[in-house]
Amino acid sequence: MAKFKAMTQEWLDAYKAAIEADPEYKPMAKDWEGSVALVCNPDPSKGVPETIYIFMDYWHGDVGEFLVCDKAKAESATFVMTGDYSRWKQVALKELDSTKALLQGKLKMRGDLPYVVRNIKTVNKVIDILGNVDTLWPDEM
């Protein structure tokens, strides 16, 4: 199986396909409404020379746009989560729980946190699916 370089369009395409193929996702996400942006702060020492903006659109179990984008598109998302590269990698590898990361200030979010908490099973499901995408992380190249 090919490895996908993290935080690239090819990686996002593989991630989107994995979500769409997961039989548990659609019924679990039936109540989710809103796009999510991930903002990865630069860390040249880890192979991330500039800020990376990712936009993902979710709507009642359907998966819309998954894009590496510009700052304006990312900021248009319903939920905007910002963090350092190392934190995003820890969340993806399930070394750091995303909810705890938010509550501890390791990740920052603009959006309705109570909504996210009410839909935590959906959030955890997409993170679980991400763990199944064969990823090549910038600091491992």
> Which pLDDT does position 50 carry in this prediction?
96
> Which pLDDT does position 64 carry in this prediction?
96
CA angle 124, 77, 53 (to 5 degrees): 85
- 67-78 per-position pLDDT tens digit: 999 999 999 999
Q: Tell the residue number behind the tokens 């590269």, with chain if given.
A: 85
The DSSP annotation for 104-120 comes to: TTSEEEES-HHHHHHTH
All domains of the chain, ordered by start, with CATH?
Answer: 4-126 (3.30.1050.10)
| pTM for the structure as a whole | 0.93
- Residues of the chain below pLDDT 70: 1
Which residues are within 8 A (CB) of 19 and not within 5 positions of it... i.e. 6 or more apart?
25, 63, 126, 129
